[in-house]
Structure 1
Amino acid sequence: MTAEIALPRYDRSKLKPGIVHIGLGNFHRAHMAVYLDDLFNLGESHDWAIIGAGVRAPDSRMRDALKGQDCLSTIIELDPKGKTCRRVGAMIDFLPVEPDNASLIAAMTDPQIRIVSLTVTEGGYFVNPATGKFDPAAPDIAADGANPGAPVTAFGAIVAALKARRAAGIPPFTVMSCDNLPGNGHVTHDAVIGLARLSDPELAGWIQANVAFPNGMVDRITPATGPRERAMAASFGLGDDPVPVTCEPFRQWVVEDKFTNGRPALEKVGVTFSDQVHAFEMMKIRILNGGHAIIAYPGGLMGIEYVHEAMAEPLIRDFLDKIETEEILPIVPPVPGTDLDAYKTLIIGRFSNPEIADTERRLCLDGSNRQPKFIIPSIRDNLARGVVPKGLVLASALWCRYCAGTDENGAVIEPNDPDWDRLTRVAQEARAQPAAWLERRAIYGDLADNAEFVAAFTQTLNDVWKNGTAATIRAYLG
């Protein structure tokens, strides 16, 4: 190691676990784990260390990597003024990844564990996109409902652990989502209680009465790890770390102060506890996540590899700025202590950071899950105020064009959505019949019945196919 690496300033051997976290991806390790590391460095809350866990077979690879380095995570902050590197020591163990989740259930039953947190991706909550509600008929959920003693999902394991704690007279833990989705606490509540009802309605009632599910807004851009990131870790003398994390300097976490069984003193390291999480959340989801979706598909279609390169293209930057200013900011409610115009400017600056090297392909990933959360609600809100949001309509049409499977240079776009094959088939059909794209009710719902929206989408998609991405954006910009 070199002197450039910041190491934990606390004795890790004296940490005690208080949190089980499910889903040890880059975001968690650059966000929640960093906040806890900061807190532990202050000499605070040393009984709130993290035990890591996963419920999918590929999580074993992350476990092997992290256990091989004593559960330390390398975090490299990519400030254009200079990179900094730290080793985060907030996690002290990583549970075996097992088909029946027995070790995970046992760990969550331990009275020391007072919070179970999750980053299982926006699509991991078994929400039916057509209804926006928990789907008890999802195959893995139905399986856990039929066999609650050997659950395959994170929520099944949580239900099993809560059942064991109730039987042993142990107070329950808080269940805290750290995923980026609207009302993440409510969504997690519905998943846990909805699953419990399938096998034990009485237990579901007990969970309803006794377990807290705080809502939270989380924010930090963390690109995927690849050769570039590993080389960066090696430049700091950490060439043996297979899973370093790079991230932007900015981070934000706003949480409801609603915990069943205590919490770490995270307010001492910059976490905001607020009863207005929904306001921060809407701001972030509409402006930042919506902004990502706005710049994703133009860049993807124009053959641009990196997000900062897309932002350096005046056409895309102006496209983002106009939609944000005219179609998104007017529908975002006030946020405590926040100037929305300044927040928009901050977001544009963050997207433009060349050190991040976030890819357009990553932003284009899983549009069938992200569009209904980040773009379509803003379209609905504009229509409700009597405005046809031409920029947002164009953003959605560009997603359709991207899913047709080739970019504007003729290059094949490799599958980039869990439903890619079907999306590609419908997108190609929509070239002749644009309304066919809107008939996917799980994505657009009753917008397919809104004549103004259908007409605007039809004209816009026709323009994209006839004139190309750049010319259609220029026409929108006027």
Structure 2
Amino acid sequence: MTQLSIAALPAIQTAATPSYSRADLTPGIVHFGVGNFHRAHQAVYLDALFNRGEGRDWAIIGAGTRATDAAMRDALRQQDWLTSVVEQEADTSAAHITGAMVDYIEPGDSQAVIAALTDPAIRIVSLTITEGGYYIDPASQKFDPTHPDIAWDAANFATPKTAFGLILAGLVKRREAGIAPFTVMSCDNIPGNGHVTRNAVAGLAALIDPALAEWVKSSVAFPNGMVDRITPATSEREKNLLAERFGIDDAWPVFCESFKQWVLEDNFPAGRPALEQVGVQFVLDVAPYEHMKIRILNGGHATIAYPAGLLDIHFVHEAMEHPLVSAFLKKVETEEIIPIVPPVPDTDLGAYFAMCEKRFANPKIGDTIRRLALDGSNRQPKFIIPSAMDRVNANSLLTGLALVSAFWCRYCYGTTDSGAVIEPNDPSWDRLTAQARKAKDNPAAWLEMADIYGDLAKAPAFTETFTKCLNFLWKNGTAATLEAYLAGRL
């Protein structure tokens, strides 16, 4: 067994290791949200670039704003910021060590973060803070300036707590010092993530000084981007697999699929690494790619999550092996989601969905249904409800999408069909559970959450179908409901 560290790299023969040394690297990026996805995606692309002898002035400094970020920092610090990335397919498993991160600022040390952001060498600030981290009102999908975290930062600008407060403070310090602004790059699964990030930073600025907000809008670049790689949470299972198969002791390894994709708007006035050399697509308009991915892939995950959860299915690949769940996914996608996704350059949407099915079915990933079901209050308004609204506006059938909402409601009741307790799985779990329990006898109660459903809750075509689906689900159970939908009896 080899304890992962820089000193131990020469002894590791079971995994690819960096061809560069830490001394070769200088930081050019501060990244907020050093989680599994970042370490399996952005950090992997940069590591590949560094291995080519390119862009070694774009190393990463990690930053976090949550108390829980400290555990990740502690784990990575003890192994010199290295990460074991294991790519898993049905018949292959390969590991490599990435070294793109050179430091990680202690969470809560706002002054150290601001100092790093003021360094002229930092030319990009990136984020993977999850869909729920952007202070977006679910119904309007607009920045919420009244959120207590944002109000705190506006009132305590010298010691901000949020990523956006820290970013704004760094930008202000740079402007005062005559240093050009860095580019702010979101790597989260949000439609128009660059626009959303711009609205958050400028929205906070507007609470402090309207002129500052205008400067942010006119002077700071916020490129849009689409990111994709299935990356489950790390558990003891992954740590043990890494130790048994590769002989590496890593406190927090990342397991992921071999597939990855990154499509970026080429809007980096402060400069950027030459990521096109390692597979990143730079395009004029990310929106078609992003729309496809969020509706088909993320929408597909949301479609299978809740019926699978209600059937006590643990892993995503097991859900794809269940004939009712996989058939439900295919029917909803092909009949209701894909027909309303606009064309994407050089992409066959049917082939894209077939690739998604294959990826979901990968037995090596170990992705869990619980992860897919997490945070529905933030994910449903981005991945499912917009498709349903589009179907309403087109006067088109939406039984499958209404049924997805019914499954989510039933899941939030807090028990599976077998009676097993579903542990809290959403930041708003108590609220969702209360509404789901009201909705058992009065389905309209679920749609009272106007901040989630918005105008969709006022559309009779949806509300009537949702009511029918939820009533049927409570009366007959998940399996029978899936059977009825697939047979055209719902």
- Normalising by structure 2, report the TM-score: 0.96
Q: Is the 8 A contact 1:121 1:180 kept in 2?
A: yes
CA distance in 2, matches of 1:238, 1:384: 56
- In the other structure, the counterpart of 2:59 is 49
Structure 1 SS opposite 2:249: coil
Query: Which residue among 466, 472, 477 is the counterpart of 2:481?
Result: 472
Cα distance, 1:130 vs. partner? 2.4
Read off the aligned partner of 1:276 and give its amino acid letter.
D
- In the other structure, the counterpart of 2:33 is 23
What pairs up with 1:221-236 in 2 under 5 angstroms?
Answer: 221-236=230-245
Structure 1 SS opposite 2:149: helix
Aligned length: 477
The answer on 1:366 being equivalent to 2:375 is yes
Q: Deviations over 1:335-392 (max 9, x none)?
A: 0111100000000000000001111111111111111000000001111111131111
The answer on 1:338 being equivalent to 2:382 is no
Cα distance, 1:233 vs. partner? 1.8
Q: Deviations over 1:194-218 (max 9, x none)?
A: 1011112222222211110000000
CA distance in 2, matches of 1:2, 1:90: 18
What pairs up with 1:87-106 in 2 under 5 angstroms?
Answer: 87-98=97-108, 101-106=110-115
Structure 1 SS opposite 2:365: coil
CA distance in 1, matches of 2:389, 2:140: 15
What pairs up with 1:145-184 in 2 under 5 angstroms?
Answer: 145-184=154-193
- In the other structure, the counterpart of 1:387 is 396
Read off the aligned partner of 2:82 and give its amino acid letter.
L
Q: Is the 8 A contact 1:23 1:54 kept in 2?
A: yes
CA distance in 2, matches of 1:137, 1:70: 40
Q: Is the 8 A contact 2:175 2:181 kept in 1?
A: yes
Query: Which residue among 126, 140, 150 is the counterpart of 2:135?
Result: 126
Q: Deviations over 1:434-466 (max 9, x none)?
A: 011111001111222212211111111000001
- In the other structure, the counterpart of 2:6 is none
Query: Which residue among 435, 449, 460 is the counterpart of 1:426?
Result: 435
The answer on 1:6 being equivalent to 2:16 is yes
Structure 2 SS opposite 1:175: strand
Read off the aligned partner of 2:20 and give its amino acid letter.
Y
CA distance in 1, matches of 2:430, 2:104: 36
- In the other structure, the counterpart of 1:186 is 195
Read off the aligned partner of 1:209 and give its amino acid letter.
S
CA distance in 1, matches of 2:113, 2:406: 43
Q: Which structure 1 residue ranges, 5 or more long, are not aligned?
A: none
Q: Is the 8 A contact 1:388 1:453 kept in 2?
A: no
CA distance in 1, matches of 2:42, 2:430: 35
CA distance 1:237–1:447, shift in 2 (3 Å) = closer
CA distance in 1, matches of 2:207, 2:247: 48
CA distance in 1, matches of 2:111, 2:222: 23
- In the other structure, the counterpart of 1:38 is 48
Structure 1 SS opposite 2:133: helix
CA distance in 1, matches of 2:231, 2:309: 19
Q: Deviations over 1:313-341 (max 9, x none)?
A: 11111110111111011000000111100
- In the other structure, the counterpart of 2:8 is none
Structure 2 SS opposite 1:218: strand
Cα distance, 1:300 vs. partner? 0.3
Structure 1 SS opposite 2:423: coil
CA distance in 1, matches of 2:423, 2:25: 45
CA distance 1:319–1:339, shift in 2 (3 Å) = same
What pairs up with 1:283-298 in 2 under 5 angstroms?
Answer: 283-298=292-307
The answer on 1:202 being equivalent to 2:211 is yes
- In the other structure, the counterpart of 1:263 is 272
Q: Is the 8 A contact 2:392 2:459 kept in 1?
A: no
Read off the aligned partner of 2:285 and give its amino acid letter.
Q
The answer on 1:69 being equivalent to 2:70 is no
Q: Is the 8 A contact 1:331 1:381 kept in 2?
A: yes
Read off the aligned partner of 2:32 and give its amino acid letter.
I
CA distance in 2, matches of 1:37, 1:108: 22
CA distance in 1, matches of 2:247, 2:137: 43
Read off the aligned partner of 2:137 and give its amino acid letter.
N
CA distance in 1, matches of 2:162, 2:422: 31
Cα distance, 1:239 vs. partner? 4.6
The answer on 1:83 being equivalent to 2:63 is no
Read off the aligned partner of 2:136 and give its amino acid letter.
V
- In the other structure, the counterpart of 1:251 is 260
Q: Deviations over 1:218-260 (max 9, x none)?
A: 0000010001110122125555311000000100000000012
The answer on 1:407 being equivalent to 2:412 is no
The answer on 1:117 being equivalent to 2:126 is yes
Q: Deviations over 1:84-110 (max 9, x none)?
A: 0110011111112225x1111100100
Structure 2 SS opposite 1:246: strand
- In the other structure, the counterpart of 1:353 is 362
Q: Which structure 2 residue ranges, 5 or more long, are not aligned?
A: 1-10
Cα distance, 1:476 vs. partner? 1.1
CA distance in 2, matches of 1:103, 1:332: 44
- In the other structure, the counterpart of 1:436 is 445
